[in-house]
Amino acid sequence: MNICIVGGGIVGCAAAYYLSKAGNDVTLLEKDDIASKASGFSFGGLLPPMVSDQDKLNLFTDFSIQLHKKLFSDLSSKNINYGFRKKNSLILATSEDELKNIIEFSSGMYFPSGQNPVILNHGEITHIDARISDKVLGGLYINNSYDVDAFNLCSSLWYAAKKYGAKLIKDEVISIDVKNNSVRSIALKYSKKKINTQNVILAAGPWSKLLTESLGIDIPLKPLKGQILRFDNENHPDMNINFWWGANYISTKYDGYLWAGTTEEDVGFDQNIDKKGAQSILSSCIEIFPYIKKLKIIKQTACLRPITSDLRPIIENFPNEISGLVLSTGGGRNGILFGPAMGYIAAEMVLSKKNSVDTAFLNLKRFNN
């Protein structure tokens, strides 16, 4: 089957990998480089979302984590190595109310198999990292969680997809052409060419909305800018745990630098870094780890994450409205966690296969209720 995928982030690369591996004719369209947007700048901590143990999202989370494990095994067997490891997490509380909320919520929160979360007090946390501030009162320690090198994961998926015959066209898609309620072609901006296809997976992050609007489909999706700082942690011990608090996180990553984030900025499609963002991250980190003020900032990055109104992905096909179109976007801050599953399910949908995990609760109909 001939299939076009719009977007070279984690979802698009995963879909390209699964579809090309199954023998399909796959063309990936990306106006920049593979993983040049949010997927390539992601922190990559695979911390499951804090939701109720009754939430349908849990099965989807489990499915995606299992795909992460299988991808690492399968690609490693082909000498494609990108960085995937167990790395425990610690969610910190800096007030009595925060600690109370963590304790209460964790009792009814879902945790994947093998994870046995434990509430720690300040003293127990200092045994994990003695540099922690006295402002940290306690936290939730989560074992058997994972960490991935997001940029190299995307690059490796694309490398493997190419080996299976997938092709890359670096151009911007300006429209998806539909006739008689079916996809017919894709129009490109720079080459001014049209690619004939009857099957499209739209996985262009927040830019997906611009293309769906041209088709008369409005989706509750917007970009949310996040900035990240990288510190030179030389002469200091690595952080071997992913620390999380509020919207923030910090840990030593695969490049040896200390990564810290993030901001949550509703500024449209502005992708520029700025001093305000850096100062916000720096101040928050110093409050938790005072020694950070001595470190040199090596790099500052910014990216746009696709956020839905209910903070959950959208995975949808349109058999009645537009046959051949599949939409998979909106992973938000969980984009890398959910990316393999979002790509896998999108691949199943475009092939009209039964989904391996229930995603009906992630379709667009939920926004009409």
Q: What is the pLDDT of residues 25-66, one digit of tens each?
A: 999 999 999 999 999 999 999 988 888 777 899 999 999 999
Confidence of residue 234 (pLDDT cuts 50, 70, 90): confident
Is 360 found in the same domain as 233?
Answer: no
Is 289 found in the same domain as 166?
Answer: no
Give tens-digit pLDDT for 108-120. 777 887 888 999 9
* Strand-by-strand arrangement of the 242-245 sheet: 118-121, 138-142, 89-93, 242-245, 248-252, 258-261, 221-232, 296-308
Predicted local confidence at residue 186, as pLDDT: 97
Q: How many domains does the chain have?
A: 2
Is 292 found in the same domain as 322?
Answer: no
Is 157 found in the same domain as 135?
Answer: no
Q: What is the mean pLDDT of residues 2-31?
A: 98
Cα 367 from Cα 139, distance rounded (Å): 34
Predicted local confidence at residue 136, as pLDDT: 97
pLDDT, the chain, mean = 95
pTM: 0.96
Is 279 found in the same domain as 231?
Answer: yes
Residue 328 in this model has a pLDDT that exceeds 90: yes
Q: What is the CATH number of the domain that holds 134?
A: 3.30.9.10
Coil vs helix vs strand at 331: coil
Is 156 found in the same domain as 56?
Answer: yes
Of 259, 274, 308, the domain-final residue: 308
Predicted local confidence at residue 203, as pLDDT: 98
Residue 187 in this model has a pLDDT that exceeds 80: yes
Coil vs helix vs strand at 187: strand
| CB-based contact 345:67 (threshold 8 Å) | no
DSSP state of 131: T
Residue 6 in this model has a pLDDT that exceeds 80: yes
Of 258, 273, 308, the domain-final residue: 308
Give tens-digit pLDDT for 93-145. 999 999 999 988 888 777 887 888 999 999 999 999 999 999 999 999 999 99
Is 315 found in the same domain as 213?
Answer: yes
Is 362 found in the same domain as 246?
Answer: no
Q: Which domain holds residue 167?
A: 2-79+150-220+310-368
Is 234 found in the same domain as 205?
Answer: no
Is 187 found in the same domain as 101?
Answer: no
Predicted local confidence at residue 37, as pLDDT: 95
Of 308, 332, 360, the domain-final residue: 308
Where do runs of H (alpha helix) occur along the chain? 10-21, 38-41, 57-76, 96-107, 122-128, 150-163, 208-214, 275-288, 335-350
Is 239 found in the same domain as 143?
Answer: yes
Cα 252 from Cα 241, distance rounded (Å): 8
Q: What is the CATH number of the domain that holds 50?
A: 3.50.50.60
Is 142 found in the same domain as 14?
Answer: no
